[in-house]
Structure 1
């Protein structure tokens, strides 16, 4: 089992010293990676399910924050949970991700993408909300094409993106492709993970039967597409106070990575929570083996 930690700018704030201290302590404790969420814009009345999101929550740009984290740390991987892919142009995004990966010496490796659930957010960036799934699929294909392309350039013809002979450098650090994990709480997301993803990161309040069904769907879709279903990573949110028995239950469900986050707002209490979790699961011992 791998263990990562989340940093929620809406609740912890966007003070750079606080972000870097949180990340550095998590790295010192042995956490594999740090994840950040994304909302590009909010507005009064924005709802996720039955919950209204306060429009003043400071959702900082996750990639900019991860660049800060990369500069302040040495080992931990960089992740998003989730980046709203349909609202980014994939040609620009491919360059940004490759640049972060190069500057961090190969740590931009836990990109997780989702579709977004706020129609007003899609409208704000000129995206038809009903097309965001197809747009995300194309965006994944475009980024991978650009990363793999050489000096002769690559071309693409799609419903949303169309270009000829483009070259995108620098390339990711030491690899031809960056991993792309798929987040979401739907069967469509599970199928997308199987068809195009390197991992699946479901969220939301799903029941155990639906979670199991979605994981099976992701794996069966991968198999039918000629991909290796066993190579598909399975990430889940956990809690900072979870027990070893709970982690064992996650492992029995096929989970390969757990992401937790501090519940305290006070930085000192956050450090205590992070340290206690790391000690409970021997994270530093894992690094030395």
Structure 2
């Protein structure tokens, strides 16, 4: 089992000193990675899961924040939980992610993408909300194609993206691609993880539904000719989790827990309880 921590800018703010302090402390405590969420834009009445989101929540850009954190740390991996992929052009995103990976010497390795759940956010980004799933699938394919391409260039002709002999450098640090994990709380997301993901990172759901989606991701991977055992399974947790709860997650096939912590004291207590440091 691996343990990571989530730095939520709506909760913790975008104060640079606090962000660096939190990231360095997480690294010192032995956490594998630091995750950050994304919302590009909010609006009055935006609702997810029955919760109306205050439109003034300070969602910092996760990639800019992670690049900032990378410059102030040495080991901790960088993750998104989640990046709203259909609202990013994959050609531009491939460049940004590869650049962060190079500058951090190979730490941009826990990219998790989702399709988004706010229709108004999709409209603001110029994306048809009903096509965001297909757009996400295509964008994943484009990202991997661009990263793997050489000086001869790569071509793609899809529903949403089209280019001929495109060359993009730098490449990821000492790698031909970056892992892409799939986030979400739907069975469509589980199937996407099986078909295209290096891992599945579901949101909150009852244990029986998680078991269904975990099995769905694995069976979809097998049907696609991929190795189900290579699929990582990440879940959110809390700093109050006990060892028994962690062991229960492990029994469910979870390979990584991302802890939502309110303070560095919470991180220290959790790390000490599980002997991470």
Unmatched segments (≥5 aa) in structure 1: 264-269, 285-289
- Secondary structure class of the residue paired with 2:238: coil
What secondary structure does 2:70 align onto? helix
Distance across 2 between alignment mates of 1:57 and 1:208: 30
Task: Output aligned runs, 1:9-48, within 5 Å.
Answer: 9-48=9-48
| Aligned match of 1:259 | 258
Mapping of residues 70-219 of structure 1, within 5 Å: 70-204=70-204, 206-219=205-218
Please list the CA deviations of residues 219-275 of structure 1 after superposition, one character each: whole Å capped at 9, or x if unmatched.
Answer: 011011111100000000001110000000000000000000213xxxxxx121111
Structure 2, gaps ≥5 residues long? none
- Equivalent residue pairs, number: 277
Task: Output the CA distance in 2 between the equivalents of 1:249 and 1:131.
Answer: 37
Structure 1, residues 55-102: CA drift from partner, whole Å, max 9, x if none?
000000000000011001000000000000000000000000000000
Q: 2:6 matched to 1:3?
A: no
> How many angstroms does 1:25 deviate by?
0.3
Structure-1 separation of matches of 2:179 and 2:100: 14
The reply on whether 1:271 has 2:264 as its aligned counterpart is: yes
Can you list the C-alpha shifts for 1:192-219, whole angstroms capped at 9, x where unaligned?
Answer: 0000000000003x11111001000000
**C-alpha distance in structure 2 between counterparts of 1:273 and 1:238, whole Å:** 13
Q: C-alpha separation between the residues in 1 aligned to 2:52 and 2:107?
A: 34
Aligned mates of 2:212, 2:265 — CA distance in 1 = 37
- Please, what is the CA RMSD of the aligned residues? 0.5
Task: Give the secondary structure class of the aligned counterpart of 1:34.
Answer: strand
Secondary structure of 1:260's aligned partner: strand
> What does residue 67 of structure 1 align with?
67
Distance, in Å, in 1 between the alignment partners of 2:101 and 2:60 is 19
Q: Does residue 232 of the first structure (1) align with residue 231 of the second (2)?
A: yes
Q: How many angstroms apart in 2 are the aligned matches of 1:92 and 1:166?
A: 12
- Once residues 245 and 280 of structure 1 are traced to their aligned partners in structure 2, the CA distance between those partners, rounded to angstroms, is 12
Structure 2: how far apart are the matches of 1:140 and 1:86? 10
Determine the C-alpha separation between the residues in 1 that align with 2:37 and 2:248: 26
**TM-score computed with the length of structure 1 as normaliser:** 0.95
Q: Secondary structure at the match of 1:238?
A: strand
CA distance in 2, matches of 1:255, 1:197: 15
Q: Could you tell me how far apart the structure 1 residues matched to 2:147 and 2:264 are?
A: 38
Q: Secondary structure at the match of 2:155?
A: strand
- 1:49 to partner: Cα distance: 1.9
Partners of 1:276 and 1:208 lie apart in 2 by 26
Determine the C-alpha separation between the residues in 1 that align with 2:81 and 2:166: 29
SS of the residue corresponding to residue 250 of structure 1 reads helix
Deviation >6 Å, runs of 4+: none
